[in-house]
Amino acid sequence: MDRQEWREGNFERGDIWRSDIAYQCEICHTKTNRWIMGGWPGMGPRILCPGDLYQEHDELENSLKQHQALAGQIKGYEKIFGEVPKNAKDTFHAQQELLEAIVNKLREPFYRRLDDVKGLDNDASIRKFYPTSRCANKKSLKDARFLYLCK
């Protein structure tokens, strides 16, 4: 759908369509090409991350925010002090590595299990997106039946 094309059609809230581009969530790396008309406060096209239905998506997002905040702290200290003392730098990098490991571990259950791409071949272009619409009443991936079927 071209930009603003949805304004001219007779679209209703809840209409669903597939785009010719796959979108990858920057949080869990799940891919989708499913769009839905609706949203709040105004009507417009929305792309929803399939992984956002799960509590683990929020845990992953919080870990990513901590990782980004730590990277910002390191840069801030380097600006102030010019060179961060070696023991402090080692501590920051150890924390950063730990957060990276946590993020990678939290992404594992999402990897290729929740992708919702239909009608596209494997060479389709992929754009990253940050989910802005949120789901309520989230489930846990631990309770999801697909985890046992995909192992």
Cβ partners under 8 Å of residue 124, min gap 6: 20, 21, 22, 33, 117
Residue 11 scores a pLDDT above 80: no
Residue 62 scores a pLDDT above 70: yes
Q: pLDDT tens-digit profile of 65-123?
A: 999 999 898 888 888 877 777 888 888 889 999 999 999 999 999 988 899 999 998 88
Cβ partners under 8 Å of residue 61, min gap 6: 27
Tell me what pLDDT residue 148 has.
42
Tell me what pLDDT residue 79 has.
84
Mean pLDDT of all residues in 133-150 = 62
Q: pLDDT tens-digit profile of 13-43?
A: 888 989 999 999 999 999 999 998 876 666 7
Tell me what pLDDT residue 12 has.
79
DSSP 133: S
Residue 150 scores a pLDDT above 50: no
Does 1 or 98 have the greater pLDDT score?
A: 98
Measured in residues, the chain has a length of: 151
Does 13 or 64 have the greater pLDDT score?
A: 64
Question: What is the pTM (predicted TM-score) of this model?
Answer: 0.77
C-alpha 12/C-alpha 21 separation (Å) is 22
Tell me what pLDDT residue 147 has.
46
